[in-house]
Chains A and B, each alone.
Chain A
Amino acid sequence: MSKVVPREYYQFMQEMQAIDFVLVELTLYLDTHPDDAQALAQFQQFQRRKQALMQQFEPLFGPLHEYGNSPAGNRWAWAEGPWPWQV
């Protein structure tokens, strides 16, 4: 019986990768434009969206962050797959 990644996983990934990418771009931009208040406001808006998505994803597929930066849940799902290079 093979372990195959469920389709739902990819739908979440698509959304999270897009939101996180905006956060990465804004992070680098704010590093060189620390006084851009509009960019900071946009960053905070996307930060909220990221949190909301993670709260939906993690109960289904386990924690995204290690060392206590994601809720642990009722079992130790951190060490379970799939891992990013396997999907």
Chain B
Amino acid sequence: MDAQWRTYTPWRSPFDPCPPREQRAYIVPPNQFIQTQPRGLRQFAPREALRRGTLWPDLYSPYDTAGRGAQP
């Protein structure tokens, strides 16, 4: 599971009607850790930048539902 994900486990009831999903996950994107982008951050090459949706790897937030282990 990549570093952006956080998990938590809500209380559940023995009377819940449906099979439980124990863990919940949410994402904390990189913009939460930057107040103002510093100068001179490394960059993707143009085609890679387009594919990723940003010029800067430090701002990239993958959304890989496969590897995270838990659902929202």
Contact = CB atoms under 8 A, between A and B. Distances in A.
Direct contact of A and B (CB under 8 A): yes
Interface of A: 14, 17-19, 21-22, 25-26, 29, 32-33, 36, 38-39, 46
Interface of B: 36-37, 39-40, 46-47, 49-50, 54-56
Contacts of B39: 33, 36, 38-39
- Contact residues of A: prevailing secondary structure: helix
A17 B55 contact: no
B55 A18 contact: no
28 contacts: A14-B47, A17-B50, A18-B46, A18-B49, A18-B50, A19-B46, A21-B46, A21-B49, A21-B50, A21-B55, A22-B46, A22-B49, A22-B55, A25-B49, A25-B54, A25-B55, A25-B56, A26-B55, A29-B37, A29-B55, A32-B37, A33-B37, A33-B39, A36-B39, A38-B39, A38-B40, A39-B39, A46-B46
